[in-house]
């Protein structure tokens, strides 16, 4: 035990030294937790070796915590974990971060925060103290709270008066991060609480139908999340969801998609079909980087209309030339475009169980030519243990993306890479769907007539590209 503790402590110490040396050489620093979040403060992450050092330190710190903390305490804290999302939602919906920011100064007494938020101060103080204990907000004096690097991310960036008078559209014009927080803290958290009941009920336990997700049990009717969002009473939730999707789409629109498959090599004779492509954010950087390739974006008719308006603002010449077009489509129906050079399926399959994902892939296979490429953009689930496929080298690119953490850390880097596992359970709760491991992708693809040939890696495992060809 003592040796393991010392190993973990050394990994933390060595990683901290690596980060500090890289920052010193490049004239940057790790941002202080007690200051407001500033994107420019994240520059240190781009220095050579820092990314691995950060992941090592995070993984080792959590493993050291799990090792040293009494086991009953760890289990009870996990059982009590719902309080993290509960308290965060209260602080977020009450606009506490914005109230503190607008007050100026070094902090604000909870009585003044509560008065502006119209909340009982005796209850709010306990919520803020819980969050501050977990490094979200600061209690700088008794009952006086200030923002820090984490709590400042709860600030939407608009005046409090506007947030309180127009809650439906309050996320418009924002990055989407806060909109995602709103949706996770509301229906996602509530739906997740019904996971056991859904898995235990013989009527839903083995179902692959989206209506049988825990979400349906939460709303009290057998309905998909997508249908629920389009109900007239859910206009605020639908608007917020649309903005939340920008968190993911902004990564693609920022050029991440160009770091995988060689889209720049395509010519005017090539056609990309973005299946379920929304307003076309994923293919926007492709169209900007390659002035020759033709692109069709397919989605529901209402989304297509929004997509055309979106491109009129961002890249109207691509529409005017006819090089980029939008087309109503249903990926559960036969694919109308035959023989495309590339079928792009970005952040779609994880919304569906195998039954429906297979149907999407089969429809594309029926429309493919022998030379068609299929590109799937989704997170790839990793085993917690060592993955023998890394040594096998059967899938080019996978070995460079999936590197085991150094012992005694968990091979999958533990808590440093836990976001994908949370996303997987989120998909189960909301859609009866899932993220998938690479062997799972291979099996799914083969069943639909595709052969997995390569993984274009993404170190953050947010935007890896799985490339397949017809069998």
The whole-angstrom separation of Cα 410 and Cα 120 is 44
Please check whether residue 430 lies inside any domain of the structure: yes
Based on the fold, state whether residues 160 and 229 are members of the same structural domain. no
Based on the fold, state whether residues 287 and 433 are members of the same structural domain. yes
Report the number of secondary-structure helices (H) and strands (E) in the chain: 23, 12
Please check whether residue 171 lies inside any domain of the structure: no
Based on the fold, state whether residues 316 and 411 are members of the same structural domain. yes
Please check whether residue 170 lies inside any domain of the structure: no
Q: Which two tokens stand for residue 259?
A: 């770091």
Domain count, the chain: 4
Catalytic residues: 350
Q: Are 294 and 270 in contact (CB under 8 A)?
A: yes
Please check whether residue 33 lies inside any domain of the structure: yes
Based on the fold, state whether residues 86 and 109 are members of the same structural domain. yes
The whole-angstrom separation of Cα 407 and Cα 147 is 37
Q: Are 311 and 283 in contact (CB under 8 A)?
A: no
The whole-angstrom separation of Cα 309 and Cα 303 is 10
Q: Are 355 and 441 in contact (CB under 8 A)?
A: no
Based on the fold, state whether residues 292 and 387 are members of the same structural domain. yes
Based on the fold, state whether residues 393 and 301 are members of the same structural domain. yes
Please check whether residue 456 lies inside any domain of the structure: yes
Q: Are 275 and 329 in contact (CB under 8 A)?
A: yes
Picking from 341, 207, 333, 203, the residue whose alpha carbon sits closest to that of residue 267 is 341
Cβ atoms within 10 Å of 357's Cβ, excluding its own: 27
Q: Are 329 and 340 in contact (CB under 8 A)?
A: no
Name 295's bridge partners: 272, 324
Based on the fold, state whether residues 307 and 402 are members of the same structural domain. yes
Based on the fold, state whether residues 364 and 310 are members of the same structural domain. yes
What is residue 186's DSSP assignment? Answer: I
Q: Which two tokens stand for residue 287?
A: 């169209």
Q: Are 402 and 439 in contact (CB under 8 A)?
A: no
DSSP 33-49: TTS---GGGGGGGGSTT
Q: Are 450 and 470 in contact (CB under 8 A)?
A: yes
Based on the fold, state whether residues 363 and 447 are members of the same structural domain. yes
Instruction: Output 249-253 pairs: Cβ under 8 A, ≥24 positions apart.
Output: 249/176, 249/278, 249/281, 249/282, 250/175, 250/176, 250/281, 251/462, 251/463, 252/281, 252/282, 252/284, 252/285, 252/346, 252/377, 252/463, 253/281, 253/282, 253/284, 253/285
Torsion of CA 14, 16, 22, 27, to 10 degrees: -150
Please check whether residue 357 lies inside any domain of the structure: yes
pLDDT tens for the 471 residues of the chain, in order: 679 999 999 999 999 999 999 999 999 999 999 999 999 999 999 999 999 999 999 999 999 999 999 999 999 999 999 999 999 999 999 999 999 999 998 899 999 999 999 999 999 999 999 999 999 999 999 999 999 999 999 999 999 999 999 988 899 888 889 999 999 999 999 999 999 999 999 999 999 999 999 999 999 999 999 999 999 999 999 989 988 886 666 666 667 899 899 999 999 999 999 999 999 999 999 999 999 999 999 999 989 998 999 999 999 999 999 999 999 999 999 999 999 999 999 999 999 999 999 999 999 999 999 999 999 999 999 999 998 876 666 789 988 788 899 999 999 999 998 999 999 999 999 999 999 999 999 999 999 999 999 999 886 667 899 999 999
Please check whether residue 250 lies inside any domain of the structure: no
Based on the fold, state whether residues 293 and 442 are members of the same structural domain. yes
Give pLDDT, residue 392: 65
Of 134, 165, 196, the residue that ends a domain is: 165
Question: Using CA of residue 241, residue 378, residue 264, residue 301, what is the dihedral sign?
Answer: negative
Of 22, 46, 77, the residue that ends a domain is: 77
The CATH number that applies at residue 158 is: 1.10.10.10
Of 244, 277, 301, the residue that ends a domain is: 244
Based on the fold, state whether residues 320 and 462 are members of the same structural domain. yes
Strands (E) across 228-372 are located at 271-275, 294-299, 324-328, 342-346
Please check whether residue 172 lies inside any domain of the structure: no
Order of all β-strands in the sheet with 271-275: 324-328, 294-299, 271-275, 342-346, 373-377, 465-470, 450-456
What range does the domain containing 43 cover? Answer: 2-77
The whole-angstrom separation of Cα 372 and Cα 341 is 5
Based on the fold, state whether residues 85 and 132 are members of the same structural domain. yes
Q: Which two tokens stand for residue 215?
A: 């979400």
Residue 212: which residues within 8 A CB-CB, separation 6 or more?
198, 203, 204, 222, 432
* Residues constituting the chain: 471
């Amino acid at each position: 035990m003592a040796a393991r503790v010392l190993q973990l402590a050394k990994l933390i110490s060595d990683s901290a030294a690596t980060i500090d040396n890289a920052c010193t050489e490049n004239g940057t620093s790790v941002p202080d937790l007690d200051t407001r979040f500033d994107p420019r403060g994240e520059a240190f992450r781009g220095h050579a070796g820092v990314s691995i050092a950060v992941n090592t330190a995070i993984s080792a710190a959590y493993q050291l915590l799990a090792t040293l903390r009494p086991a009953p305490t760890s289990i009870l804290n996990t059982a009590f974990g719902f309080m993290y999302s509960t308290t965060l939602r209260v602080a977020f919906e009450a606009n506490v971060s914005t109230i503190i920011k607008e007050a100026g100064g070094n902090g604000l007494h909870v009585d003044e925060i509560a008065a502006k938020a119209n909340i009982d101060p005796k209850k709010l103080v306990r919520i803020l103290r819980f969050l501050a204990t977990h490094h979200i907000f600061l209690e700088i004096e008794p009952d006086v709270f200030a923002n820090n690097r984490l709590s400042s991310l709860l600030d939407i960036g608009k005046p409090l008066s506007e947030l309180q008078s127009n809650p439906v559209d309050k996320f418009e014009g924002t990055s989407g991060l806060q909109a995602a927080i709103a949706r996770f803290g509301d229906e996602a958290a509530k739906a997740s609480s019904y996971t056991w009941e859904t898995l235990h009920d013989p009527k839903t336990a083995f179902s692959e139908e989206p209506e049988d997700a825990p979400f349906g049990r939460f709303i009290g009717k057998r309905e998909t999340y997508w249908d629920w969002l389009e109900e007239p009473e859910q206009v605020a939730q639908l608007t917020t969801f649309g903005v939340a999707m920008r968190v993911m789409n902004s990564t693609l629109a920022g050029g991440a998609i160009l770091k995988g498959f060689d889209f720049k090599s395509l010519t005017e004779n090539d056609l990309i079909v973005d299946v379920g492509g929304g307003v076309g954010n994923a293919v926007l950087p492709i169209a900007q980087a390659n002035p020759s390739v033709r692109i069709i974006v397919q989605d529901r008719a209402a989304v297509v209309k929004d997509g055309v308006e979106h491109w009129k603002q961002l890249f109207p010449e691509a529409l005017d030339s006819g090089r980029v077009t939008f087309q109503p489509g249903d990926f559960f129906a036969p694919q109308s475009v035959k023989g495309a050079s590339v079928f792009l399926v970005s952040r779609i399959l994880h919304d569906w169980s195998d039954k429906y994902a297979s149907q999407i892939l089969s429809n594309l296979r029926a429309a493919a030519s022998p030379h068609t490429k299929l590109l799937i953009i989704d997170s790839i689930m990793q085993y917690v243990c060592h993955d023998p496929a890394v040594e096998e080298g059967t899938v080019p690119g996978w070995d460079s993306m999936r590197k085991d953490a150094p012992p005694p850390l968990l091979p999958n880097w533990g808590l440093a890479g836990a976001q994908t596992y949370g996303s997987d359970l989120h998909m189960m709760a909301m859609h009866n769907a899932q993220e998938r491991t690479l062997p799972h992708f291979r099996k799914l693809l083969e069943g639909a007539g595709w052969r997995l040939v390569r993984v274009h890696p993404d170190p953050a495992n947010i935007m890896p590209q799985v490339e397949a060809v017809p069998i």
